[in-house]
Amino acid sequence: MNFPYKRVVVTGLGALTPLGNTIPQYWDSLVNGVSGADFIKQFDVTKFKTKFACELKNFHAEDYFDRKEARKLDRFSQVALVAAAEAVESSGLLSAGLNRDRVGVIWGSGIGGMITFIEEMKNFNSGDGTPRFNPFFIPKLILDIAPGQISMKYGFRGPNFATVSACASSTNAIIDALNYVRLGKADAIVCGGSEAVVTEAGIGGFNAIKALSERNSDPKSASRPFDLNRDGFVLGEGAGALVVEDYEHAKRRGANILAEIAGGGLSADAYHLTAPHPEGLGAYNVMMAALDDAGMKPEDIDYINVHGTSTPLGDISEIAAIQKVFGDHAYKLNISSTKSMTGHLLGAAGAVEAIASILATINDTIPPTINHFTDDPSFDPRLNFTFHEAQKRTVRAALSNTFGFGGHNASVIFKKFEE
């Protein structure tokens, strides 16, 4: 790698997911093939086409925030703060002598404070038309409030902003963090993403564009990436956080380095509002860009955590792109979609899947793609989709793909840390 860049490493992780509320819980559920899907408990689903989602389990805001503080935070900011807290604590970043002017927060969300917006509109419509709005309505709603809240909690005064690119949002945040650190603009950045849109509008809106599975008879097996009978994704909620740090800075403070970020790529399909390019052109371009940015060859990758949403067209286009990028090496890869277990966390998907990719390199274990029942002849049977059970193998490097409505594509590569 001949770039005049600083090495960038990961020193902390945090996760609040439908599979568990901490990193150990999340990873244990992933490797054991646990489904996070169940019937929705947050609102009455009687009249909805889809009645299930991957909701958080046993998450209660009052366990983390006092009542006054919780009322000032939309659920997407609450989960952001919880995941960030685990990442910051595990990183040991808050040591004596930390220059907080050089620590930033870059955070992704596809939609932001949807729950707050719905509540305020309900309150307005139930009144006499007099505009009575909560003074925290706008601060709770806006997407950039999550990184703002994290920075205020820890006094991090470095770069601070939100990334918005639909389901690629938090991968964009990680790539931006990578670039700020390797260019010397910050010593460390807390990055990731959060989403909390398991709501009437979230389910109803995605139902309206026929994006969601309607397999109400068996929610736990509804997310079926690469299965012949897949019928859409399962909506999820939660947050994932990483502490991304300059290697020399981490080394000086004796940090426990978990992985190295090798590179990232960005592209656009420039094709359709919601559908992927049928030949996977944007997906091909973004993976090639990530490899080029990392100074790596296709054969250096051992595992791809695919976008793999369980939609009829999306799964096909992504695999077509993978085969074009990797050629014969595609048959030596492990491929898996952890969305088969977590559901689709939209703007938080990239972060929680990046964490799965990092943990795969640390533990030399590939989490499975669950819920496979019927082979789809669209896919080459020689490809290893890691169906049913986790697989052990040496994982030198993992690539994580995320693609969003509007044709936004982001890929990031993590590799096993070596001095």
Q: How far is CA 45 from CA 16, 199, 200, in A?
A: 24, 10, 8
The residue annotated as part of the active site, out of 249, 307, 372, 408, is 307
User: Are residues 403 and 280 in contact, defined by beta-carbon separation less than 8 angstroms?
Assistant: no
- Gap between the Cα atoms of 227 and 322, Å rounded: 17
- Gap between the Cα atoms of 154 and 149, Å rounded: 9
The residue annotated as part of the active site, out of 249, 277, 344, 372, is 344
Cβ-Cβ contacts under 8 Å for 388 (sequence gap 6 or more) = 33, 368, 369, 370, 372
Residue showing tokens 């889809």: 50
User: Are residues 159 and 186 in contact, defined by beta-carbon separation less than 8 angstroms?
Assistant: yes
Q: Tell me whether residue 344 is one of the annotated catalytic residues.
A: yes
Parallel, antiparallel, or unpaired: how do β-strands 391-392 and 365-366 relate?
antiparallel
Provide the greatest CA pair distance for the chain.
66
The residue annotated as part of the active site, out of 167, 191, 249, 408, is 167
Cβ-Cβ contacts under 8 Å for 292 (sequence gap 6 or more) = 263, 265
What tokens does 415 get?
A: 């590799």
Q: Which residues are catalytic?
A: 167, 307, 344
